[in-house]
DNA sequence: TATAGTTGTCTATTGATATAGACAAGTATA
DNA sequence: TATACTTGTCTATATCAATAGACAACTATA
């Protein structure tokens, strides 16, 4: 039995109480804390040490998001399930990693462009300074829900027209195979967390102030040559990263 | 030249404009957008499409955090701090991991207690249901700055008095050696991110609304027996996790 | 030493946030 | 059907957030 943590809300910190409580409830749902139905509004008000109307504000926001469904006289019910556990390892692949947790997984190409590589990109892909790179902006979905938003870089000399291959299959793994990369491995992953930027909020269908987990990584082929340099943002309320 | 993105702030979303702007400025600094000095308040107000006083609120918060330093008549300057890269792997150790990045690393014991293990703890440590566990609350510091806040569980039958060993050395590695555990390995790590709780804000000296990276892991000895089950919160503005 | 440019402080007004209480409307159950 | 419990709606009040304008205090430099 949890000892009813009271007054854990911070006031006058620039984040409205109803927003903080909405964030807490969403996170608690992701952690499986509430089975199917939310406690009554008065109980939640007691738990968070606020007025019932403030809790109602939080619930209204989550109903708007589609996380909750309120029924007058009956209660407030949860529309969603637990977080995805996304495995990070030497053989990390989006579709493989979630195959036991979601029926449909696919990537969607938002846009692509050829650019001059900056310092970190050219170093990661082992290209000469000032080389051109192919940049892909993608969203990955699981069961129709946007899970991650990636910015990836490829060497256009080796992977000319890669954007079409990716757009067709919705999978980096499949697209790489079309270019003769039978297998690939993750060399390293850097993980950080921050508030989502406005553009990611829209693509990941998040509410303002949401947190994203950011992974920066390089994938290499069987010869150890870098094939993909990528920065991926995961919705922290929907995904946790599992390092095996 | 960036085309002065105006009016990208969301209003009446439960997050005060000054807080959103503070988050944006902090992120822009991290991305190296401002060299050394922030643009004047009026220019920032123009850029974000808000009143000068609103920008001042954001700057005041960042000064409080130690990110900025304002000097009357001169301008507002950036206090440089780079993030620690904390390596996560099979041989993850706090002091080892930061030894090239900080001169002094140590753990501080905040409190300890004997409790009845809950379901996840007893499973992680391979204990019978309802067994007693030793719980340690600790803070780890690097160069005097609190970097992480951990809640760890040990089997009190095997590690009787472990809290004293830890308090003496400030190191789990050293304390485990006193109990004959010459080496240990990390079996798995689960990583998530959320807003910091009030108690962690104080211990990690964070500002309200700050983000923490949460790692949940089990360490096992050379025989594969679990010795430590732990949940650690890292200040996301100060630390990124590196998976090799 | 002027002057322009910067941050700091004050007053005032409007809208959003949070609290409080009362009661209506709907649901489940004894 | 009566009762307890739940969500929905209304009024009212106090505090915080955001805008607006004016001017003081301080710094760099022409």
Residue B54 tokens, joined: 């609103």
A36 touches strand C (CB under 7 A): no
Alpha helices by DSSP H, listed for chain A, are 17-30, 41-48, 52-65, 94-97, 119-124, 162-169, 172-178, 198-203
For residue A1, pLDDT beyond 80: no
The tens digit of pLDDT for each residue in A132-145 reads 999 999 999 998 88
Residue B222 CB contacts under 8 Å (≥ 6 apart), including other chains: B181, B182, B183, B184, B185
The tens digit of pLDDT for each residue in B173-188 reads 999 999 999 999 999 8
pLDDT for the residue B181: 95
Residue B82, Cβ density class (10 Å: 0-12 exposed, 13-18 middle, ≥19 buried): exposed
Q: Which residue has the higher pLDDT, B147 or A195?
A: B147
Distance A38 CA to D16 C1' (A): 29
Distance B37 CA to C5 C1' (A): 15
For residue B4, pLDDT beyond 70: no
pLDDT for the residue B191: 94
Query: pLDDT category, A36, cuts 50, 70, 90?
Result: confident
pLDDT for the residue A12: 62
| Chain C bases near protein Cβ (<7 Å) | 5-10, 16-21, 25-28
The tens digit of pLDDT for each residue in B17-76 reads 999 899 888 878 877 788 789 999 999 999 988 999 999 999 998 888 888 999 999 999
Which of B14, B208, B244 has its CB closest to that of A19?
A: B14
pLDDT for the residue A114: 96
Residue where the block lists tokens 């507002």: B76
pLDDT for the residue A4: 34
Q: Which residue minimizes Cα–C1' distance to C20?
A: A51
Distance A117 CA to D9 C1' (A): 58
For residue B1, pLDDT beyond 60: no
pLDDT for the residue A140: 95
The tens digit of pLDDT for each residue in B80-117 reads 667 788 999 888 888 888 888 887 888 999 999 999 99
Q: Which chain B residue is nearest to residue A188, measuring alpha carbons?
A: B244
Nearest to A86 by CA among A96, A74, A76: A96
The tens digit of pLDDT for each residue in A46-105 reads 998 899 999 999 999 888 887 899 999 999 999 866 788 999 988 888 888 888 888 788
For residue A201, pLDDT beyond 90: no
Angle, CA of B36, B41 and B46, to the nearest 5°: 115
For residue B235, pLDDT beyond 50: yes
pLDDT for the residue A66: 79
Nearest to B138 by CA among B147, B129, B130, B128: B147
Is the CB of B115 inside 8 Å of chain A's CB atoms?
no
Kindly tell me the number of DSSP H helices and DSSP E strands found in chain A.
8, 10
Query: pLDDT category, B12, cuts 50, 70, 90?
Result: low
Q: How far apart are the first and last CA of chain B?
A: 36
Query: pLDDT category, A8, cuts 50, 70, 90?
Result: low
Query: pLDDT category, A11, cuts 50, 70, 90?
Result: low
Query: pLDDT category, A110, cuts 50, 70, 90?
Result: very high
Q: Which of helix, strand or coil describes residue B36?
A: coil
Residue B235 CB contacts under 8 Å (≥ 6 apart), including other chains: B146, B147, B148, B196, B204, B206, B210, B212
The tens digit of pLDDT for each residue in A215-244 reads 999 999 999 999 999 999 999 988 999 987
Query: pLDDT category, A213, cuts 50, 70, 90?
Result: very high
Mean pLDDT estimate for chain A: 88
Query: pLDDT category, A164, cuts 50, 70, 90?
Result: very high
The tens digit of pLDDT for each residue in B116-171 reads 999 999 999 999 988 999 999 999 998 888 999 999 999 999 999 999 999 999 99
Least Cα separation, residue A194 to chain B (angstroms)? 7
For residue B11, pLDDT beyond 70: no
pLDDT for the residue B195: 82
Report the 10 Å Cβ neighbour count for B96.
Answer: 13
Exposed e or buried b per residue across B196-233, where buried means at least 16 C-beta atoms within 10 angstroms of its C-beta = bbeebbebbebbbbbbbbbbbbbbbbeeeebbbbbbbb
Query: pLDDT category, B7, cuts 50, 70, 90?
Result: very low
Is the CB of A192 inside 8 Å of chain B's CB atoms?
yes
């Amino acid at each position: 039995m949890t000892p009813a943590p009271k007054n854990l809300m911070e006031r006058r910190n620039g984040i409205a109480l109803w927003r903080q409580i909405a964030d807490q409830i969403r996170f608690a749902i992701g952690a499986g804390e509430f089975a199917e139905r939310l406690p009554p509004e008065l109980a939640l008000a007691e738990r968070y040490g606020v007025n019932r109307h403030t809790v109602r504000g939080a619930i209204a926001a989550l109903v708007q998001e589609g996380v909750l469904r309120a029924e007058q006289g009956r209660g407030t019910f949860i529309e969603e399930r637990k977080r995805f556990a996304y495995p990070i390892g030497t053989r990390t692949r989006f579709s493989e990693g979630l195959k036991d947790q979601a029926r449909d997984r696919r990537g969607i190409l938002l846009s692509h462009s050829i650019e001059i590589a900056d310092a970190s990109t050219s170093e990661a892909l082992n290209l000469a300074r000032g080389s051109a790179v192919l940049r892909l902006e993608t969203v990955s979905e699981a069961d129709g829900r946007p899970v991650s938003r990636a910015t990836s870089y490829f060497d256009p000399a080796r992977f000319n027209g890669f954007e079409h291959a990716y757009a067709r299959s919705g999978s980096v793994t499949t697209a790489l195979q079309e270019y003769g990369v039978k297998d690939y491995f993750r060399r390293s992953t850097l993980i950080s967390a921050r508030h989502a930027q406005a553009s990611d909020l829209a693509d990941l269908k998040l509410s303002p102030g949401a947190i994203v987990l950011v992974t920066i990584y390089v994938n290499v082929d069987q010869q150890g040559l870098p094939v993909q340099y990528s920065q991926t943002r995961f919705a922290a309320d929907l995904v946790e990263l599992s390092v095996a």
